Amino acid sequence: MKKKIFTLIMLIIGVHLYSQDLPFSYPKYDPYRDAKKDLDGALLRAKKEKKHVLVKVGGEWCIWCRRLDSLILHTPELISYVTKHYVVVKINVSKENKNEHILSKYPKIPGYPHIFVLDSAGRILHSQNTEEFEYPADAPEPGYDKEKILRFLKVWSLKH
């Protein structure tokens, strides 16, 4: 029994440590997180680290949200750039929690995922429909174009 408890504790610690290395404040869109608290924390961190805030709006129900996360997390060039230049916050939108109290302050979102770039004071610098990052409709399989995303990230990051 003690061995099972120890193994479980080590697994939890490992998952926690792994998630701390991600550029996202948490690994999934979570309807039970406090979006205002997460955003406020990201703004403080962005000010301290002299970065912009990348606000990703979507949900686990959204296949395109999961595709975008997967591409960023599994592309070393993207994950490195995001980590170096942005503080990332994910705001959940789902039937459980639409986060209207936060998102009502932002421009209307045409679809998910959607990205807002904020300065460290919380001012909106850019609102981005991610559909523009997708491969053409005649591509062999649906997905996002890494180069388009990287260009976008470079345009909106603070120049160091």
Do 31 and 92 touch, CB atoms closer than 8 A?
Answer: yes
pLDDT at 75: 95
Q: Which of residues 4 and 97 earns the better pLDDT score?
A: 97
Domain 24-156 grouped into CATH 1.10.3720.10 = no
Q: Is pLDDT above 70 for 112?
A: yes
CA distances for 98 relative to 69, 126, 154, angstroms: 20, 21, 30
3 state DSSP class of 71: helix
Nearest to 53 by CA among 157, 159, 160: 157
**What are the residue ranges spanned by the domains of the chain?**
24-156
- Confidence class for position 28, pLDDT limits 50, 70, 90: confident
Residues 62-99: pLDDT tens digits?
A: 999 999 999 999 999 999 999 999 999 999 999 999 99
Q: How are strands ordered across the β-sheet holding 114-118?
A: 86-92, 52-58, 114-118, 124-129
Q: Say if strands 114-118 and 52-58 run parallel, antiparallel, or are unpaired.
A: antiparallel
- The residues facing 90 across adjacent strands are 56
Within a 13 Å sphere around the CA of 47, how many CA atoms are in the beta-carbon half? 9
Report yes or no: 85 and 148 within 8 Å, Cβ to Cβ. no
Q: Does residue 19 surpass a pLDDT of 60?
A: no
Output the six-digit token pair for 12: 């939890």
